[in-house]
């Protein structure tokens, strides 16, 4: 895990790095992305330095997703959008560049029809027996929940 003293998001939360804060809760802060992909691209950041969603407590997750629920409509409206892409890169292998949990909120409009998550990846044709194997593996780990 990265040293929190070297984390850009921790420094933003401490107020040591200037940001354009748009919302704050007990467990999260929302800012405009300094390197936006589209106008209004915002980040919702956990105030606790944890890399992945499963590293956060259920109280923190509830707070963050309540803030996400609140912010999404406001950001869409402010940017004259009708939709948004919500993205979480959950770990380095998933493309997470800063190992501190955060959610991207990227407003979209009708002209952004190519933003489907499926357009970001090369689609793989996976045989049904392989899909069944994945289903069994995941179901085995979730059935006791």
Residues 49-61: tens digit of each pLDDT: 999 999 999 999 9
49, 69, 102, 104: which is the annotated catalytic residue? 102
Query: What gap in Å lies between CA 97 and CA 108, rounded to an integer?
Result: 23
The predicted pLDDT at position 113 comes to 62
42-46 sheet: strands from edge to edge: 21-24, 28-32, 42-46, 102-108, 83-87
Q: Which residue has the tokens 């004259």?
A: 80
List of E strands, 3-144: 21-24, 28-32, 42-46, 83-87, 102-108
The token pair at 12 is: 């933003």
Instruction: Tell me whether residue 102 is one of the annotated catalytic residues.
Output: yes
Mean of pLDDT values over 54-71: 98
pLDDT: is 1 or 118 the higher one? 118
The token pair at 103 is: 């959610």
Q: How confident is the model at residue 133 (pLDDT cuts 50, 70, 90)?
A: very high
Domains and CATH numbers, the chain: 4-115 (3.30.428.10)
Whether the CB-CB separation of 44 and 64 falls below 8 Å is answered with yes
Percent of the chain clearing pLDDT 70 (strictly above): 88
The predicted pLDDT at position 125 comes to 86
């Amino acid at each position: 895990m990265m040293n929190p003293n070297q984390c850009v998001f921790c420094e933003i939360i401490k107020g040591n790095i200037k940001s354009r804060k748009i919302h704050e809760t007990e467990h999260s802060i929302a800012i405009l992305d300094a390197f936006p992909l589209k106008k209004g691209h915002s980040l919702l950041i956990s105030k606790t330095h944890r890399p992945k969603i499963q590293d956060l407590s259920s109280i923190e997750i509830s707070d963050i997703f309540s803030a996400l629920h609140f912010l999404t409509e406001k950001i869409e409206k402010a940017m004259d959008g009708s939709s948004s892409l919500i993205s979480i890169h959950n770990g380095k292998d998933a493309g997470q560049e800063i190992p501190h949990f955060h959610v991207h909120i990227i407003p979209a409009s009708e002209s952004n029809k190519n933003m489907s998550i499926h357009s970001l990846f090369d689609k793989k044709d996976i045989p049904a027996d392989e899909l069944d194997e994945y289903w069994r593996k995941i179901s085995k780990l979730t059935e006791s929940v």
